[in-house]
Amino acid sequence: MSKSEEVGDSLVDESSVGKSSVGNSSVNNCSTNHCSIVEPGSNLAIEKQLCFSLYSTANAIVRAYRPMLKALDLTYPQYLVMIVLWSNNGINVKDLGQILHLDSGTLTPLLKRLESKQVLMRKRGEDDERVREIFLTAQGINLKKQAEAVPEQMLCKAKLPLQELLELKKGCDRLFENLTEE
């Protein structure tokens, strides 16, 4: 075998890059500037990847939220924290992290930034001083009134029937559970 190079989890012979073997002949899959080592109909085609569709959609969703959240002076992750706090004022950091699927290393800087914006405050737990509890300030409570329009605006941007969006969410939730179960 000629010089080989590892690509992803497979070993590829450099002399076969851009060619596919059909019977005993080799077919060149190279255009002028692009070369493909993926067979036609392969499961490795980008358009067949669920992960790529989810990744692209997640990025598009965050970009769609950006102008609405800019008016609230929030980033998307900060908005998610506030959504949880608006229905769970006084939640501890550990429980907040579980709800948002974030570890404390990611959550702590988010909370510090929101505290500096004076929309929340962190306090030591009354029963256990090791526990940090998070409470909305008056400004954080008032911010909820401004944020009430955001879900409806996103629904309009999605241009899909509500039922279809609810089914999509349900499917994503099931997929998350399957991928994270131990």
Q: What is the CATH number of the domain that holds 60?
A: 1.10.10.10
Residues of the chain with pLDDT under 70: 1-33
**Domain of 168, in residue numbers:** 50-180
Task: Look at residues 25, 117, 29, 132 and name the one whose alpha carbon lies nearest to residue 79.
Answer: 117
At residue 39, the pLDDT reads 80
At residue 40, the pLDDT reads 77
Beta bridge partners, 12, equal 5
At residue 78, the pLDDT reads 98
Q: Could you tell me if residue 80 is inside a domain?
A: yes
User: How many domains does the structure of the chain reveal?
Assistant: 2
Same domain assignment for residues 84 and 163: yes
Task: Look at residues 160, 99, 174, 165 and name the one whose alpha carbon lies nearest to residue 134.
Answer: 99
At residue 6, the pLDDT reads 38
The token pair that represents 146 in the structure block: 């401004």
At residue 30, the pLDDT reads 57
Same domain assignment for residues 57 and 34: no
Same domain assignment for residues 136 and 58: yes
CB 131 within 8 A of CB 125: yes
Same domain assignment for residues 87 and 31: no
Whole-number Å distance between alpha carbons of 65 and 59: 10
At residue 20, the pLDDT reads 42
At residue 165, the pLDDT reads 96
Q: Could you tell me if residue 10 is inside a domain?
A: no
At residue 28, the pLDDT reads 52
Radius of gyration of the chain (CA): 24
Whole-number Å distance between alpha carbons of 172 and 101: 14
Alpha helices in the chain (DSSP H): 50-70, 76-87, 93-100, 104-116, 138-147, 150-158, 162-180
